[in-house]
Structure 1
Amino acid sequence: MEEFRRSTALPHLEGRRSCRDTPCYRPHAHDTFSIGVIDEGTSVLTGPPAGQILLRPGDVVTIPAGQVHACNPHEGRWRYQMIHMDQSWAAALTPGGADSHLFAGISVLRRPDLNRRAGALGEVIFADDSAERIEAAFTEALGALDAAEPEFLVGSSTDPELLDVLRPVLEHLRNDEVNPSLDELARLVGMSRFRLIRSMKRATGLSPLAWRQNVRIVRAEHMLRRGVPIVETAHALGFADQSHFHRVFRAHVAASPGVYRG
């Protein structure tokens, strides 16, 4: 079961309700700030460099933009909600602002009241409430999340200095219409291909080609939300065919492009 809803009043807000019993996500990152709510079952959160964290019913997980992670069901049915939003908007509503622990890394929070508050955020999105009601609900919830002590806090997996060194590689991966070779990418920054792979994983949490796929899928989400047809989206992003696009999209989003587009 997959259900997506976008706010009419605040289009950057997206809610998701999902139920899974098999592994569904590969490591990925969003360009949004995300709040996850575990409603039923257990799941395993993997977020380099932290290893694995077992999530339980009632847990609330906050994930900053750009933080690599994957979450998959553990021993049976797993029902959860996700709320995605513009990170600068979320920071403006948070008492700690951009310096809050919510934006410093993945936080796992274990308090029933926080679960109820976070779950209510999905309700106002699915109800398509007014901007005023939505902002009031998010201001209250983000304030409570900001004030809470995390059960786990996983620091950011990115390395800003190394990202600057790798910027020519990232630009090439972002803009090239075909997969560039590792040797070609390594020459751009004077590294061996093996050092490049290690450096990319340290800087971004992903290998070069995995990072490129993630960028393409984030772009695909934006296009599909705007109503761009699936075939046109796949072609614009350089996928060999629609079948290949479906496979890669599902591995990152755990839903088909058609279900996501709505």
Structure 2
Amino acid sequence: MTEFRRSSTLPHLEARRSCRENVCYRPHAHDSFSIGAIDAGTSVVTGPLEGGVRLAPGDVIVIPADQVHACNPDRGLWRYQMIHMDQAWAESLAPGRGSSRLFETIRVLRSPELYTQVNAVNDAICADEPRERLEARFTELFASLGAAAPAHAISGEADPELLARLAPVMHRLRTDESNPRLGELAAAVGMTTYQLVRAMRRATGLPPLAWRQNARVLRAREMLRQGQPIAESAYALGFTDQSHFHRVFSAHVATSPGSYRASCKNVQDRSA
């Protein structure tokens, strides 16, 4: 079961509550800043490094934009909530130097007060509170998150020079409707296929084709939020058919394109 809510006055602000039992997420990255909280059950979060961190009820996790991760149930029922938002907006509200660390690495925080605060902010988004009230809540939340010492930090710093070299490859992976051949992509940046796969993993946390799928899902979420039909979105993004689009989308978002689009339409109806 998954439920999405979005603010009618801050369209980039999205709240999510989910209840899962099975492994549901491939390694992926968001183009947004994300704050999560574990309500019940245990799960394991993995990041760019090998190994994982077990999350327990009451834990809060902060995930900067473009940080590859996957969080899946450890055993039994797992209930959690997430808040996604534009990272530049979040940085503009975060007070003081300490808060800047929030936007650098994945951080796991263990504090009952923080959990309560995240839960209250999520409730406020679901209640569609006014913009001014939401911004005040987030300013307070960022101050609390920035002052808290993390129980774990998962680093995922990228090499800017390597990212610049890979920019042509990433552009083609993002925009080509058909899957580009790895050998062709590698030759364009003076690498072997093996070197390209290693370089993409080091720079982004994902191999080339997995990065392409992630980029397409991010674009799909944007298109569905804008109300575009599922079939048109799948075709525009180069998926072979709707069932393929459904499988890829669900593996990244843990809900179907139809369910996600319907939740976005509910927000549009409320703001009309």
Same fold (TM > 0.5): yes
| One-letter amino acid matched to 1:253 | V
Distance 1:225 1:176 in 2: 22
The answer on whether the counterparts of 2:19 and 2:79 sit within 8 Å (CA) in structure 1 is yes
Correspondence list, 1:132-211, <5 A: 132-211=132-211
The answer on whether the counterparts of 1:49 and 1:157 sit within 8 Å (CA) in structure 2 is no
Q: Cα distance, 1:96 vs. partner? A: 3.5
Distance 2:42 2:119 in 1: 17
Which residue of structure 2 aligns with residue 130 of structure 1? Answer: 130
| One-letter amino acid matched to 1:213 | Q
TM-score where L is the length of structure 1: 0.98
Which residue of structure 2 aligns with residue 11 of structure 1? Answer: 11
The answer on whether the counterparts of 1:157 and 1:205 sit within 8 Å (CA) in structure 2 is no
| One-letter amino acid matched to 1:161 | E
Which residue of structure 2 aligns with residue 218 of structure 1? Answer: 218
Which residue of structure 2 aligns with residue 102 of structure 1? Answer: 102
TM-score where L is the length of structure 2: 0.94
Deviations 1:48-106 (A, max 9, x none): 12521101110000000000000000011100000000001111111146971110110
Aligned length, in residue pairs: 262
| One-letter amino acid matched to 2:79 | R
Distance 1:50 1:129 in 2: 40
5+ residue gaps in structure 1? none
Q: Cα distance, 1:156 vs. partner? A: 2.1
CA-atom RMSD, angstroms? Answer: 1.1
| One-letter amino acid matched to 1:209 | L
The answer on whether the counterparts of 2:32 and 2:85 sit within 8 Å (CA) in structure 1 is yes
Tell me, yes or no, if structure 1 residue 234 matches structure 2 residue 240: no
Distance 1:149 1:178 in 2: 45
Q: Cα distance, 1:5 vs. partner? A: 0.6
Distance 1:98 1:195 in 2: 37
5+ residue gaps in structure 2? 263-272
The answer on whether the counterparts of 1:41 and 1:78 sit within 8 Å (CA) in structure 2 is yes
Deviations 1:161-208 (A, max 9, x none): 211111111111111110011100110111110111001000000000
Correspondence list, 1:68-87, <5 A: 68-87=68-87
| One-letter amino acid matched to 1:112 | P
| One-letter amino acid matched to 1:245 | F
Which residue of structure 2 aligns with residue 258 of structure 1? Answer: 258
Distance 2:203 2:216 in 1: 19
Percent identity for Structure 1 against Structure 2: 62
Distance 2:29 2:119 in 1: 22
Distance 1:166 1:98, change over 3 A: farther
Which residue of structure 2 aligns with residue 39 of structure 1? Answer: 39
| One-letter amino acid matched to 1:175 | T
| One-letter amino acid matched to 1:26 | R
* DSSP 3-state at the match of 2:249: helix
The answer on whether the counterparts of 1:48 and 1:157 sit within 8 Å (CA) in structure 2 is no
Greater mean alpha carbon deviation, residues 168-177 or residues 251-260: 168-177
